[in-house]
Structure formats: structure tokens, C-alpha cells
């Protein structure tokens, strides 16, 4: 079969980038790339590129993908200097891809490449949809170490963010190019991409996709992932509610504390002046002083936060809103 045409030779209007972040997947990556290439070659209507991001592998994966890059002309390899984590690897893939439609998937062969054309078709037929998220309806993973923690995390994320999905953890997703330019991934935020997308006004749909058991390598996730999800979720919810109005978070708490502290002082003042009470050794005096100081500090932090938000947006020309593109 002939090699697919690379994106830099054609107009990008009918182009798809498939991004695969990998870490120590030397046993799985060759078979996965060959399967994807087979799927790509069957679709003559679109121009594909395959972007593999090696996230600091130490098992020989980098040598294997370098050989594959010489074989497949539409394969692009991005090798990170060290292991940064899946979110950073995905962001690197976003930054170095060119397609109008971007597909992401795991490199362990558990996602099925045959679902790629399906996701592309959904995005092409539904011009108002910005993100297609996969749902591993028949997930082939351990019940106790993977499925149960994932069910809990999915429920928690859906409930707190308000973006209702059955499977936040599925890496098989399809994006429009415009969407991935509206946010960036830091830390381990890849789990919350649908929530980040919804925050910038994206329309999201979820479709069932195939899932296979892991046959090679070792899973990089454990039950401790649920704890990290909770910590990341706290940040996501805070940023969604207070990123553009930090004074409402810190200033609100500070105002309450300051008010309670001043009420305590007023009560002690009345007791001292009108009833001659001894308030010098009262624990309530210490509590009032503490609440007043903390309240004042939190109010100051809130005001500084408001200033920082303006410094963040205005000099760089960043806007605190997104305008939805007309389809």
C-alpha cells in the first residue's frame, strides 16, 4: 500500500492528527502504529498524521519509534527530555500537531484504532459538536483496582463540575482544533479535559467505544489515582468559580472572620466599660484578635488576587471570555 500524504503537503481543511502519549510501551507500540496505519490507509477522504509523544521512556521505546518514523512518512515523533506526565505529553502533542480534527488515545493498545474513523465521522456530521469523548462501555480492566475507583471518580467529577459523563478517564477523544487552543494542560489535568472544554463553551457528546485488556507492559495507574483526582478536582472547581473573581473567595471568608472578630471586640468592650469585667486574660480576647488579623489578611489577599488577574489578562491581551465560533 502507498504511504499516506503528510499534512504539510496538503490543505489542512480535511486533516486529522492522531496523538499518542507513551511511556515505556516498547512491547505494544509497533503493533499499535501498524494498526493505526492500516486504518488510515483505508480512509482516502482525509489526510492523517500520527504524532507519538515519548514521555521520557527508559525501556527502549524511543529507539523503536525512531525506526517506525523512518518507515511511516506521516509519523512524527516528539521526545520529551524526561518523564513529565500524561498531561504535559498531551499538551506537547497538541502543540506539535496540525490537523483540524485531533484524536487522542493511549499507547497501551487498550483503545481500538477502528474507533478513530467513527469519532471523525461524528465530528464531521455534527458541526456544533466540539469534543467527542469515548465511553468504555465494556471496560476490560480489574474491577477493584481500576473500575470501582474510576466509577467513584466519574461520579464525583460529574457532580462537582456539572459536566455529566460516564467515563472521564477514557483517553480516546476527538477535538476540533479551535477547542484545544482555548486551554492548556498542567499537572495532571488531562482527566478534566471535558470540564475545561465546557468552561470555554464547548459542546460535548459521549459515544461508546471498544476497549481491550492490556496484553503487554504494566499499567501506570493504581488506586492512588483516586486521591490525586480529588486534589485536582479541588483546583478545578476553585478555578472555575473564582479564577476571575478571587476576592469573592478570599475576601468573602475574610469579611466573615473580620466581622466575627469585631463583634467579639465590641462585646468585650461593653463588658469592660459598662460592667467592669476583667477581659485581659479572657481566651475570647485572643480569639477576637486572631479572627480580626486573619480576616484583614484574607481581604488583602483577595484584593491582591484581583490585581493579579488584571495583570495576567491586560498586558498580554488575554480575554476573560470566549466567543463561540459560528458554524
Is residue 95 located within the same domain as residue 126?
A: yes
Which one has a higher pLDDT value, 57 or 323? 57
Burial class of residue 325 in the structure, from the number of CB atoms within 10 Å of its CB (0-12 exposed, 13-18 middle, 19+ buried): exposed
Range 26-34 average pLDDT = 94
Give the global pTM. Answer: 0.80
Is residue 2, in this structure, part of any structural domain at all? no
Question: Higher-confidence residue: 238 or 50?
Answer: 50
Q: Does residue 79 sit within a domain?
A: yes
Residues 63 and 204 grouped into a single domain = yes
Mean pLDDT, residues 101-116 taken together: 95
Is the same domain home to 89 and 192? yes
Q: Are residues 22 and 39 in the same domain?
A: yes
Q: In this structure, are 45 and 165 located in the same domain? A: yes
Q: Are 151 and 277 contained in the same domain?
A: no
Of 199, 221, 242, the domain-final residue: 242
Task: Say yes or no: 82 and 105 in one domain.
Answer: yes
Residues 141, 280: one domain?
A: no
CA angle centred on 128, ends 123 and 130, rounded to 5°: 60
Which of these three, 242, 273, 302, is where a domain ends? 242
- Mean pLDDT within 101-106: 96
In whole angstroms, give the CA distance from residue 138 to residue 210: 7
Euclidean distance between CA atoms 8 and 6, whole angstroms: 6
Domain boundary among 242, 266, 301: 242
Q: What is the pLDDT of residues 240-277, one digit of tens each?
A: 888 788 888 899 899 999 999 999 999 999 988 888 88
Q: Residue holding cell 503487554?
A: 216
Q: Please, are residues 243 and 301 in contact by the beta-carbon 8 Å criterion?
A: no
Give the 3-state secondary structure of residue 78.
strand
Three-state SS at 109: coil
Neighbours of 319 (CB within 10 A): 9
Q: Give residue 286's domain range.
A: 246-313
Half-sphere exposure of 327 (CA within 13 A, CB side): 11
Task: Assess whether pLDDT exceeds 50 at residue 11.
Answer: no
| 3 within some domain | no
Q: Per the domain annotation, does 327 fall within a domain?
A: no
Query: Do residues 52 and 152 both lie within one domain?
Result: yes
Given a cut of 50, is residue 86 above it in pLDDT?
Answer: yes
Whether residues 114 and 157 share a domain: the answer is yes
User: Is residue 4 a part of any domain in this protein?
Assistant: no
* pLDDT band, very low/low/confident/very high, at 279 (cuts 50, 70, 90): confident
Q: How confident is the model at residue 42 (pLDDT cuts 50, 70, 90)?
A: confident
271 & 208 share domain: no
Number of domains in the chain: 2
pLDDT attached to residue 132: 98
Amino acid at each position: 500500500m502507498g504511504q499516506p500524504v503528510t499534512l504539510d503537503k496538503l490543505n489542512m481543511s480535511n486533516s486529522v492528527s492522531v496523538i499518542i502519549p507513551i511511556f515505556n510501551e516498547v512491547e505494544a507500540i509497533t503493533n499499535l502504529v501498524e494498526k493505526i496505519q492500516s486504518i488510515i490507509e483505508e480512509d482516502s477522504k482525509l489526510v492523517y498524521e500520527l504524532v507519538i509523544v515519548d514521555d521520557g521512556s527508559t525501556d527502549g521505546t524511543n529507539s523503536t519509534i525512531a525506526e517506525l518514523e523512518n518507515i511511516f512518512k506521516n509519523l512524527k515523533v516528539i521526545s520529551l527530555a524526561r518523564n513529565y506526565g500524561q498531561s504535559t505529553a498531551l499538551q506537547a502533542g497538541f502543540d506539535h500537531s496540525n490537523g483540524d480534527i485531533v484524536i487522542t488515545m493511549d499507547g497501551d493498545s487498550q483503545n481500538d484504532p477502528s474507533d478513530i474513523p467513527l469519532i471523525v465521522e461524528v465530528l464531521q456530521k455534527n458541526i456544533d459538536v466540539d469534543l467527542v469523548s469515548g465511553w468504555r462501555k465494556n471496560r476490560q480492566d480489574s474491577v477493584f483496582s481500576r473500575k470501582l475507583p474510576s466509577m467513584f471518580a466519574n461520579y464525583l467529577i460529574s457532580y462537582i463540575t456539572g459536566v455529566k459523563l460516564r467515563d472521564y478517564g477514557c483517553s480516546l477523544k476527538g477535538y476540533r482544533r479551535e477547542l484545544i487552543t482555548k486551554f492548556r494542560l498542567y499537572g495532571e489535568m488531562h482527566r478534566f479535559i471535558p470540564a475545561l472544554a465546557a468552561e470555554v463553551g464547548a459542546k460535548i457528546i459521549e459515544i461508546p467505544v471498544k476497549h481491550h485488556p492490556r496484553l503487554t507492559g504494566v499499567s501506570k495507574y493504581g488506586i492512588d489515582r483516586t486521591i490525586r483526582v480529588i486534589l485536582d478536582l479541588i483546583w478545578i472547581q476553585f478555578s472555575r468559580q473564582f479564577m476571575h473573581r478571587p476576592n469573592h473567595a478570599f475576601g468573602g471568608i475574610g469579611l466573615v472572620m473580620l466581622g466575627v472578630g469585631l463583634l467579639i471586640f465590641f462585646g468585650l468592650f461593653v463588658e469592660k466599660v459598662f460592667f467592669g469585667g476583667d477581659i485581659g486574660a479572657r481566651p475570647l480576647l485572643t480569639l477576637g484578635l486572631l479572627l480580626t488579623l486573619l480576616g484583614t489578611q484574607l481581604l488583602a489577599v483577595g484584593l491582591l488576587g484581583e490585581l493579579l488577574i488584571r495583570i495576567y489578562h491586560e498586558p498580554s491581551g488575554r480575554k476573560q471570555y470566549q466567543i463561540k465560533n459560528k458554524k
